[in-house]
Chain A
């Protein structure tokens, strides 16, 4: 244990100090909360992909709870001062990104336009795959009523879907499912964040 933490503990909870030490015997953080928040912020910033709580905890030798608390603190801090950045949960990990509302200014600076959107056919195919995965080409045809081979090719090229092995049925057709890239590009924490397909029934009628 670092002296810093001891001092803190003494100041804050002098009387119950021994109790706390007994209650949390393992991996007690040697860092103060503020320090942990700062480190977590730095790591989320440098990570190429959304970084999971698990990975953060491993790298820092901290409890996952402590990491989650630090991320929560960080989110609050960003929101509190209406930062231009946000800490988001994407594809099961944490990501630092610009706030949606600032897209015009950011685009102006980056001189980018929204990238080519997926066609209606590709989006439909992707929707079927997302909800029915693992799903085969004939099963997609059954729902869409149209051959989807070129849409599947596009989705594979964009790494939004991946093959999920063969289905053990006649012809052993290839099965497809969505990828981590799908979660990232569609801003989803995980697949359960997608609304239930039955919810669209009311919407459609």
Chain B
């Protein structure tokens, strides 16, 4: 089945175009193209235009006009949704059924079912929802005249508190203090350069998305490494899309990759 062709906003150009269909020798129909939400909508419009009784639809005339409309849409290169064509077929079927002479042998008491009945029922049902749509439109229009206050910042709406460099220094000192006793002697080991440290840190942040800097510092083996790690943190915050956050005040500081949309 083909998708309906109704665009979602009334801003498309072809909505503004008007075209004319001659509905008869004298009277002309002016139709705004693309205004119909579906074949039932178009059908209702045509019935109203004819000022016809919905319970006694002049099916031949309405079918003609419906088909004219579809042709017009096609001639203007508007893709006609399959559902509109299905309705055209339904109308033609009803029209042909009505042209058939009644079976003379059929008993008079049992009224032959009006071939239009099913369509009329659908139209009546549809009309209710069309009216309901109008009601919703009114409601939303009224509602748009009412304004609420802007967002208030709270721990829920803004769980992340920006941590300052001062906060990192405090963490750094804490670890330094802890390491002071542990690290009794320094053994010459492979030195890790700042650029390597930055690379490691970057990889860790983007792999884990959130990196607790206390834990990261904790992994360092020497004062030298610690200092390098500290500088790496400062550097990465300065140059990369990485944010220092605290989940709560005086909470642990976390390095977080800034994903699109959440960055400030």
Contact = CB atoms under 8 A, between A and B. Distances in A.
B35 A120 contact: yes
A187 B125 contact: no
A119 to B, nearest CB: 5
Interface string A47-63: 01000000000000000
A203 B140 contact: no
B255 to A, nearest CB: 29
A130 B148 contact: no
Given A147-B83, A186-B140, A95 B125 contact: no
Given A119-B6, A187-B142, A204-B131, A144 B136 contact: no
A149 B131 contact: no
Contact of B81 (A100, A115, A147, A194): A147
A58 B183 CA distance: 54
Interface in A88-115: 88, 95-101, 103, 106, 110, 114-115
A143 interface: yes
B79 interface: no
Interface string A172-205: 0000000000000111100000110110110111
A62 B88 CA distance: 64
Nearest to A187: B143
A197 B35 CA distance: 24
A41 interface: no
Given A144-B40, A144-B126, A48 B152 contact: yes
Contact of A185 (B2, B134, B140): B140
Contact of A103 (B37, B145, B149, B154): B145
Interface in A114-151: 114-124, 126-128, 130-131, 143-151
Interface of B: 1-4, 6-10, 35-41, 54, 81-84, 87, 122, 124-137, 139-149, 151-152, 154, 157
A200 B128 contact: yes
B147 A127 contact: no
B133 A127 contact: yes
Given A99-B146, A100-B145, 20 more contacts: A48-B151, A88-B146, A98-B147, A114-B141, A117-B141, A119-B37, A120-B133, A124-B37, A124-B133, A127-B132, A127-B136, A145-B39, A145-B40, A146-B38, A150-B4, A187-B139, A187-B146, A197-B129, A198-B128, A200-B127
Interface of A: 45-46, 48, 86, 88, 95-101, 103, 106, 110, 114-124, 126-128, 130-131, 143-151, 154, 185-188, 194-195, 197-198, 200-201, 203-205
B132 to A, nearest CB: 4
A143 B126 contact: yes
B25 to A, nearest CB: 31
5 contacts: A100-B145, A118-B8, A120-B36, A144-B40, A195-B135
Q: Which of B3, B38, B41 has the most CB of A within 10 A?
A: B38
Q: Which 4 A-B pairs have the closest CB atoms?
A: A146-B38, A103-B145, A200-B131, A121-B6
Contacts of B149: 45, 96
A63 B130 CA distance: 43
B152 A46 contact: yes
A7 to B, nearest CB: 35
Contacts of A116: 9
Contacts of B125: 143
B129 A98 contact: no
A147 B40 CA distance: 12
